[in-house]
Structure 1
Amino acid sequence: MATHSDRRLDALLRLVHAGGGTAARRLLLERAGDPLAALAGGPATWRACGLDAAQCDVLQAPPAALARSRRWLDEGPRRHLLGWHDPDYPALLRRAPSPPLALFVDGDPTALWHPAIAVVGSRAPTAGGRDTAAAFARSFVAAGLAVVSGLASGIDAAAHAAALDAGGLTVAILGSGIDQPYPRSNTALHARIAAGGAVASEYPPGTPARREQFPSRNRIVAGLALGTLVVEAAHRSGALITARLAGDAGREVFAIPGSIHNPMARGCHRLLRDGAQLVESPDEVIATLAPLAGALADDLRMRLPAPTQGEATTPPPPSCPSAPADPDYNRLWAALGFDPSGMDELVARSGLTVARLSAMLLVMELDGRVEAAHGRYSRKS
């Protein structure tokens, strides 16, 4: 017999597969508060929320493709579907224009909450542009920021790979189904990102890459990040769409200038004329985003009961009378040492789930209590 949570997941999948515009389906979920209740409302409620006839038909008779989505989700513990109704839906993305109804996530869903910078640019950059993207990405992760991009060839791939090589966190947003890396040459990079960060898509498994889906992908890249950096871009470039969407969302836009003889610099120069911030070093970006990252950390603390910063500079030991109200943090702190420990070790020592540990470790990392490198965690000395 299907459990209540199974039925809720199937109801959310049915809403996802209904397709079409997201605004009406988001409204339906907001009013119902839950996917099961949204389906139970029936055609009259669906139409009142703005769903069209085709969407209502899918809600009444789910397509065969829904089974493929369910199979993909059931294939591993690191596969997730975050819906608009879910408290784990990323806070920054929720504030962006036209947020997706749901995100399929391969990897750690808490990575989507991490303070991040989007690094985007040409699919055919110069060698210097590729090196610049990699150097900036390494500096960003060293400063505690995640790198978000679209897993495209060129600048995107260089930024993702550099973040991983530096032991940092990176998030890839796809313009295809979550199980459809695009381009195919980035299949190995897709797997690396899923293992060490997160790959996400609003498109169900099996959805092929289509030209019209990439601008939609770009709005998620911009919406998840505190700011967007354009490294190299031609005068007509998808990276400029991402930058425009970032500006529309009230986020910072940065551009690196280039030679007037380089056609890949013309898009950046256009952004600079339109008011983007000219940057020549990663430190300029980091300094601008630092206060915004602190605000995002506050959002995460509201989502998770976390130890508050105060008199002590590190969490107290479990036996301390002033231990925080949530005992899970004390169990995690007791499980951590000054030597790096992997997630499996922390699960075994604390008895907590991977999802719970990942979320708490992120809060403690943002507070400066924990260091993370190459997927291993230790107390910060």
Structure 2
Amino acid sequence: FAAALSTAGLTITSGLAVGIDAASHRGAIDAGGKTVAVVGTGLDQVYPRRHAGLMDDVARAGAVVSEFPVGTPPLPGHFPRRNRIISGLSTGVLVVEASLRSGSLITARAALDQGREVFAIPGSIHNPMARGCHALIKDGAKLVETVADIVEELSGFAGTTAGFAASGVPVDRPDPTALRLLKYVAWEPTSVDTLVTASGMSADEVAYLLLDLELKGHVESTPTGCYCRTTYDE
């Protein structure tokens, strides 16, 4: 999603956290787009430490910003404050996965208070990590199945590319890297660790590609955090 949205002319803003945040920044960078990381520490701190390289890449591709002074460590109360800045800098907020107590819902509520668009991706009714998204959709968030759903909604804003959804590439066709990962996803539940080991890809890259494959209907997540293949595409 991040790569496609970057191609459409949007800047990707997220929080440099493990998982979807990191995958969003990396997707934008790999697509040659702009990305902004809002952190809950001083700018001289890296949290999590494993994202030091990613933080440098984000700074080169856009900006790393913080409201906290230099030397401020990562404290739990800082991250809800960070989230309101993420939404404030954004035209719209996309919630990919969220439990009912997820910090992503804090960001979504802040976005609504700030007059921003809120988008949510639905999931399995058996997946607790989809319940937050379902709650947002019930409350009026725009249901998102493809990148086109977002681009069409934001088409009036500067930077978005008109006609993006009408390109000759089907929105549900995985890219070659995603197809390479797909061959390791079994019809029975396959763990993320297994996919990282089998593919030789990083955990962040696997998380990003699994999200892309799930949104395009090629895999399905399970309540245990595993993934199952749903198509025969190779």
Separation in 2, partners of 1:200, 1:234? 27
Separation in 2, partners of 1:246, 1:292? 17
Say if 2:98 is the partner of 1:243.
Answer: no
1:190-269 → structure 2 map (5 Å cutoff): 190-269=55-134
Which secondary structure does the structure 2 equivalent of 1:189 belong to? helix
The answer as to whether partners of 1:230 and 1:243 remain within 8 angstroms in 2 is: yes
Tell me the TM-score normalised to structure 1 length.
0.41
Task: Using the TM superposition, give the Cα deviation of residue 265 of structure 1 relative to its aligned residue in structure 2, in angstroms.
Answer: 0.6
The answer as to whether partners of 2:10 and 2:159 remain within 8 angstroms in 1 is: no
Task: Using the TM superposition, give the Cα deviation of residue 292 of structure 1 relative to its aligned residue in structure 2, in angstroms.
Answer: 2.9
The answer as to whether partners of 1:138 and 1:166 remain within 8 angstroms in 2 is: yes
Partner of 2:152: 287
Separation in 2, partners of 1:179, 1:285? 34
Task: Using the TM superposition, give the Cα deviation of residue 294 of structure 1 relative to its aligned residue in structure 2, in angstroms.
Answer: 6.6
Q: 1:156 aligns with which of 16, 21, 26?
A: 21
**Residues 232 and 214 (structure 1 numbering): CA distance in 2 closer, same or farther, change over 3 Å?**
same
Separation in 2, partners of 1:273, 1:167? 35
Say if 2:174 is the partner of 1:174.
Answer: no
Partner of 1:316: none
Task: Using the TM superposition, give the Cα deviation of residue 261 of structure 1 relative to its aligned residue in structure 2, in angstroms.
Answer: 1.2
The answer as to whether partners of 1:170 and 1:193 remain within 8 angstroms in 2 is: yes
Q: Which runs of 4+ in 1 moved over 6 A?
A: none
Runs of 5+ consecutive residues of structure 2 not aligned to the other structure: 161-234
1:310-329 → structure 2 map (5 Å cutoff): none
Which secondary structure does the structure 2 equivalent of 1:234 belong to? coil
User: Who wins on radius of gyration, i.e. which is larger?
Assistant: 1
Q: 2:137 aligns with which of 255, 266, 272?
A: 272
The one-character-per-residue Cα deviations of 1:294-353 (angstroms, maximum 9, x if unpaired) are 79xxxxxxxxxxxxxxxxxxxxxxxxxxxxxxxxxxxxxxxxxxxxxxxxxxxxxxxxxx
Which secondary structure does the structure 1 equivalent of 2:18 belong to? coil
Tell me the TM-score normalised to structure 2 length.
0.66
The one-character-per-residue Cα deviations of 1:154-179 (angstroms, maximum 9, x if unpaired) are 11011001110111110000011112
Task: Using the TM superposition, give the Cα deviation of residue 229 of structure 1 relative to its aligned residue in structure 2, in angstroms.
Answer: 0.2
Separation in 1, partners of 2:35, 2:159? 19
Task: Using the TM superposition, give the Cα deviation of residue 138 of structure 1 relative to its aligned residue in structure 2, in angstroms.
Answer: 0.9
AA aligned to 1:166 is: A
AA aligned to 1:168 is: G
Count of matched residue pairs: 160
Runs of 5+ consecutive residues of structure 1 not aligned to the other structure: 1-135, 296-381
**Residues 261 and 140 (structure 1 numbering): CA distance in 2 closer, same or farther, change over 3 Å?**
same
Which secondary structure does the structure 1 equivalent of 2:154 belong to? helix
The one-character-per-residue Cα deviations of 1:103-140 (angstroms, maximum 9, x if unpaired) are xxxxxxxxxxxxxxxxxxxxxxxxxxxxxxxxx10110
C-alpha RMSD over aligned residues: 1.3
Separation in 1, partners of 2:67, 2:89? 13
Separation in 1, partners of 2:106, 2:81? 10
Task: Using the TM superposition, give the Cα deviation of residue 187 of structure 1 relative to its aligned residue in structure 2, in angstroms.
Answer: 1.1
Separation in 1, partners of 2:159, 2:125? 37
The answer as to whether partners of 2:38 and 2:64 remain within 8 angstroms in 1 is: yes
AA aligned to 1:214 is: F
| Higher RCO structure, 1 or 2 (CA under 8 Å, sep 6+) | 2
The answer as to whether partners of 2:9 and 2:159 remain within 8 angstroms in 1 is: no
AA aligned to 1:175 is: G
